Chain A
Amino acid sequence: KAGVTQTPRYLIKTRGQQVTLSCSPISGHRSVSWYQQTPGQGLQFLFEYFSETQRNKGNFPGRFSGRQFSNSRSEMNVSTLELGDSALYLCASSHRQGAEKLFFGSGTQLSVL
């Protein structure tokens, strides 16, 4: 069974640009959640999607948005990039919303110059 797939693996952008990251969950998993990981702050929850609806949202500005498609694949978008957005963005999938066991992808390393 394939794991959680995130693309692209690495991304370099400049300030002011926007970026879209993609996440394909494990087959059969309907919940996808997104996290930002930085050396200083550790892991921080961005949002969770279940059945194409955002169910929970973390404390991030509106520049961070996402969506989920009918096949459970999810995308995350960051507009008007700032230097502080440089981070590893991880997505995780699970069978159901708020499940205890999360399966993480390898992440997208975003660098904003």
Chain B
Amino acid sequence: KNQVEQSPQSLIILEGKNCTLQCNYTVSPFSNLRWYKQDTGRGPVSLTIMTFSENTKSNGRYTATLDADTKQSSLHITASQLSDSASYICVVSGTAGYALNFGKGTSLLVTP
């Protein structure tokens, strides 16, 4: 069964600090991996999308990495801001039909 596991489940950091969120998957065959940010009461917003051949992709202070060999991805947030407080969801797409596999998300709280 295709799975996507995210860690940690929740995280609290001080404003200005960096943090890294992890995503491990077993989806095979693999098409792409996406990170979404979801603010409370809102729909998810796309941060990055990476295909098999991409190792790193950045979007402002967000940098995602992908190791397709170990089936691991990370999302690094630099110089965190209060507005980064949200749930971050890892989504892995297979190649069989419409095969989106969702992680349960990491809840990040940035405190002053």
Contacts and interface: CB of A to CB of B under 8 A. Distances in A.
A110 interface: no
A4 B101 CA distance: 22
Nearest to B46: A101
B42 A102 contact: no
Interface stretch (A12-20, A40-48, A67-75, A76-84): A40-48
Contacts of A66: none
Interface in B30-56: 32, 34, 41-46, 49
Interface stretch (B12-20, B59-67, B102-110): B102-110
B93 A55 contact: no
A55 B43 CA distance: 22
A90 B102 CA distance: 14
A50 B85 CA distance: 34
A42 to B, nearest CB: 4
Contact of A45 (B41, B45, B98): B98
A45 B44 CA distance: 14
B32 A104 contact: no
B102 A43 contact: yes
Interface in B68-112: 89, 91, 93, 97-98, 100, 102-105
Contacts of B45: 104
Contacts, number: 42
B98 A48 contact: yes
A51 B96 CA distance: 21
Nearest to B97: A56
Contacts of A102: 44, 46
Given A42-B89, A42-B103, A44-B102, A104 B44 contact: yes
Interface in A85-111: 90, 92, 98, 100-107
Contact of A90 (B34, B43, B97, B104): B43
Contacts of A105: 43
Interface of A: 4, 33, 41-45, 48, 55-56, 90, 92, 98, 100-107
Interface of B: 32, 34, 41-46, 49, 89, 91, 93, 97-98, 100, 102-105
